[in-house]
Amino acid sequence: MRIFSLISLFCLVIITTASAQNNAEVIKFDRLENLINESGENIQVINFWATWCAPCIKEIPYFEALPENFKGRRLKVTLINIDFVEKLDKVNSFIERKNISSDVLLLDNIDYNSWIDKVDKSWSGAIPATLIVDSKTGDRKFIEGELKEEELNNILKEFIKS
Amino acid sequence: MLKSKLLLGMCLLLFSAGAPTEPGYMVGDAVKDFELKAVSGEMVSLDDYDDAKGFILIFDCNTCPYSQAYLERIKGLHAKYSDQGFPVVAIQPNDPVRSPGDSFEKMVAYADENGYEHAYLYDETQEVTRRFGATNTPHVYVLNKDDGKYVVNYIGAIDNNTRSAADADKKYVEDAVDALLKGKKPEVTKTKAIGCTIKWKAS
């Protein structure tokens, strides 16, 4: 009986772990602002995307590969999703389908003019867009538009070096 | 170090080829007229509109979900303001190779399905779009006729709620046109909004 309970418990743990998938967290702008201005040792790579944006979806795997490509560089990738908040289920099933492991935050603020300039003054609002911040030095780099994999890796190599 | 920076620069140049390098028109600039093919088959210029006091010029397309979200509002702007001298003129800037749903044939079908009363023009060479410095769809330029020239008075979003017109408490374009109709300058002259990138031709 006891062994049976133990086995059941073991199975339960396995099932729970396996089903603990990555989900998008719904946030307001202050949370993103904190992330951009975070202090610490991380290089923050913050990518703006939406499930309806084909060029965004194309480049997500390149962002997913960054922590592995830059092992030991304390690189943190955050995917800021700007789908409407009522599309949360769609965003989560996308995360599951594509097996996305980076943090995904759904920014629930559609008064875009109130925050686009706070991310970067040069941003028109078109996506994809990417902000790279060195939390230690405060150095920033902002890129509007789609990136190819090699291009993204080169930008980061240069950013880390400088 | 310098060498690698140069190399990176060259790579960036290579990758960004086709994207606009000029900043485009600013508020206060007079725009150059153009001649573009409309879904009706005619060639259309701003000068063709004899009675226009100005224009609500919108870079817009078939495929962008944000353009679709604003579709009824764009039609509404034309219904409200064309008789008052500010018709909507929409320009489709996307390269149909990169965005097949935005081909001229698809534009014709889309305008027909959705009962467009406003002009829907195709910027095949993307020159007009480049000259304006438009970056995304929908991207609005409110022009006011001033001494025979069309002067940019507002650049940006239609309002501050993409999801729902009813929930928008700042109607940027309407406010700008209303001000111009009263002979005043718009209070808000520039806003930003999330939108789809313009699909530039690969050069």
How many whole angstroms separate alpha carbon B35 and alpha carbon B46?
8
DSSP secondary structure code for residue B190 in this structure = B
Do B161 and A110 count as a contact with CB atoms less than 8 A apart? yes
| Residues facing A126 on adjacent strands | B195
Q: Do A145 and B16 touch (CB under 8 A)?
A: yes
> Does residue B62 have a pLDDT over 50?
yes
* Contact across the interface for A112 and B192, Cβ inside 8 Å: yes
Rounded-to-integer distance, Cα B203 and Cα A139, Å = 32
Q: Model confidence over B130-163: pLDDT tens digits?
A: 999 999 999 999 999 999 999 999 999 999 999 9
Option in B8, B136, B191 nearest A113 (CB): B191
What's the pLDDT score for residue A7? Answer: 64
Residue type, B13: L
**How many CB atoms are located within 10 Å of the residue A70 CB?**
17
- Please write the tens of the pLDDT for every residue from B163-178: 999 999 999 999 999 9
From B136, B62, B107, select the one nearest A55 (Cα to Cα): B136
Report DSSP letters for B37-48, one per residue. EETTS-EE-GGG
Closest CA to B82 of B117, B124, B40, B106: B117
By Cβ distance, the residue of A125, A146, A147 closest to B195 is: A125
Whether the per-residue pLDDT at B37 is higher than 80: the answer is yes
Residues of chain B with Cβ-Cβ distance to A143 below 8 Å are: none
Q: For chain B, what percent of residues have pLDDT higher than 90?
A: 87
Tokens of B197: 């990138």
For the sheet with A129-134, list strands across it.
A25-27, A103-107, A75-81, A43-49, A129-134, A140-144
Over residues A93-106, the pLDDT tens digits come to 999 999 999 999 99
Helix, strand and coil in chain B, % to nearest 5: 35, 20, 45
pLDDT higher than 70, residue B13: no
The DSSP line for B63-124 is: S-HHHHHHHHHHHHHHHHHTTTT--EEEEE---TTT-GGGSHHHHHHHHHHTT--SEEEE-T
Cβ-based contacts of A55 with chain B (< 8 Å): 197
Give the separation between CA B47 and CA A97, rounded to whole angstroms.
Answer: 52
Task: Give chain B positions within 8 Å (CB) of A148.
Answer: 15
* Residue B129 CB neighbour total at 10 angstroms: 23
Average pLDDT over residues A119-141: 95
- For the cut 70, the answer to whether the pLDDT of residue A133 exceeds it is yes
Beta pairing, strands B30-31 & B149-156: antiparallel
Interchain CB distance below 8 Å, B196 and A123: no
> Both tokens of residue A57?
């979806």
| B197: helix, strand or coil | strand
3-state SS, one letter per residue, for chain A: CHHHHHHHHHHHHHHHHHHCCCCCEEECHHHHHHHHCCCCCCEEEEEEECCCCHHHHHHHHHHHCHHHHCCCCCEEEEEEECCCHHHHHHHHHHHHHCCCCCEEEEECCCCHHHCHHHHCCCCCCEECEEEEEECCCCCEEEEECCCCHHHHHHHHHHHHHC
Peptide bond between residue A128 and the one before it cis (omega within 30 degrees of 0) = yes
Q: What is the mean pLDDT of chain B?
A: 91
Distance CA B196, CA B107 (A): 17
Q: CA A72, CA B151: separation in Å to the nearest integer? A: 54
User: For the whole model, what pTM was predicted?
Assistant: 0.85
Is the pLDDT score of B39 beyond 60? yes
Q: Across the interface, which of A55, A113, A117 has its CB nearest the CB of B197?
A: A55
CB-CB contact of B91 with B133 (8 Å): no
Q: In the predicted model, is pLDDT for residue A10 greater than 70?
A: no
Please give, rounded to a whole number of angstroms, the shortest distance from the CA of A124 to a CA of chain B. Answer: 6
